[in-house]
Amino acid sequence: MKNLIKKQIVVFGGCFNPPLNSHFSLAEQLLQEYSQIQKIIFVPVNSKYQKIDLVDNEHRYQMLKLVCDKNKEFDVSRIEMDYKRQLYTIETLTKLQKQYEEYEICFTMGSDNLKELETWNQAEKLVKNFKMYVFERNEDDMQNIIHSSQFLQENRQAFIRVKNHIKNNLSSTFARQKVRQGKSIKYIAPDEVVSYIEQNKLYQ
């Protein structure tokens, strides 16, 4: 009898400072390409995360929520931003796996992060316990990256190359610069996010 693939929830972590159309487009592509994925959970980092120009937790949470509330397959979690310190990825995924026991929790990352994965906290445990959906960035090739690292080769079963995804080099940094210059980010970010930024005078 053919083994049934366990239903999955994919965790999409990031600063989301602000969230862009490209973030939601990548999430939608995962749902379209892989029938086993039931939900995408966006997990914004805590403002304790050492990154310049990171707006308050609540603003980033609310911007994500405005979009996720309109899609039953999207959700946003406060798990990292409500914690007293910035959680490591392994901690976040382990906590979510306990919360959603009936699903297999997976993670999504760009190929740039894949190159650095061996340096992450408890990297060995991370790849042994969780699958990673990898988006190739720029001219990266996931298989070449894996071949360049013994650690990645030994744990290659953890990595799934996201097929047929639209590559987009627009960044949240680019969006913030546009806002500062008084220029529109319509079509770069969802309308709800654009309105929220304008109403709360963010990034100015």
CB 80 within 8 A of CB 115: no
Of 84, 83, 86, 65, the C-alpha closest to 74 is 65
- pLDDT-based confidence at 167, cuts 50/70/90? confident
Residue 28: how many CB atoms within 10 A of its CB?
A: 14
Of 151, 103, 107, the C-alpha closest to 14 is 107
| DSSP-H helix ranges across the chain | 21-33, 57-68, 89-99, 111-116, 123-129, 142-147, 150-154, 172-180, 191-200
For the chain, how big is the Rg over CA atoms in Å?
17
Q: Report the pLDDT value the prediction gives residue 163, as an integer from 0 to 100.
A: 86
Q: Residue range 180-190: average pLDDT?
A: 96
Q: Residue range 187-192: average pLDDT?
A: 97
Q: What rounded mean pLDDT belongs to the chain?
A: 94
- Backbone φ and ψ for 25, nearest 5 degrees, come out as -65, -45
Instruction: Provide the terminal-to-terminal Cα distance of the chain, rounded to the nearest Å.
Output: 59
CB 12 within 8 A of CB 42: yes
Q: Which of 42-51, 58-67, 87-96, 172-181 has the lowest mean pLDDT?
A: 42-51
- pLDDT-based confidence at 4, cuts 50/70/90? low
Q: Report the pLDDT value the prediction gives residue 165, as an integer from 0 to 100.
A: 77
Neighbouring-strand partners of residue 76: 42
Q: Report the pLDDT value the prediction gives residue 50, as an integer from 0 to 100.
A: 67
Q: Which pairing describes strands 37-44 and 131-135: parallel, antiparallel, or unpaired?
A: unpaired
Q: Report the pLDDT value the prediction gives residue 135, as an integer from 0 to 100.
A: 94
- pLDDT, tens digit, 9 for 90 and up, residues 46-63: 987 767 789 999 999 999
For the cut 80, the answer to whether the pLDDT of residue 195 exceeds it is yes
- 10 Å CB burial of residue 16 (0-12, 13-18, 19+) is buried
Q: Report the pLDDT value the prediction gives residue 180, as an integer from 0 to 100.
A: 95
Q: Residue range 104-121: average pLDDT?
A: 97
- pLDDT-based confidence at 92, cuts 50/70/90? very high
CB 73 within 8 A of CB 38: yes
- Backbone φ and ψ for 44, nearest 5 degrees, come out as -75, 145
Q: Please state, in angstroms and rounded to a whole number, the distance separating the CA atoms of residues 23 and 16.
A: 8
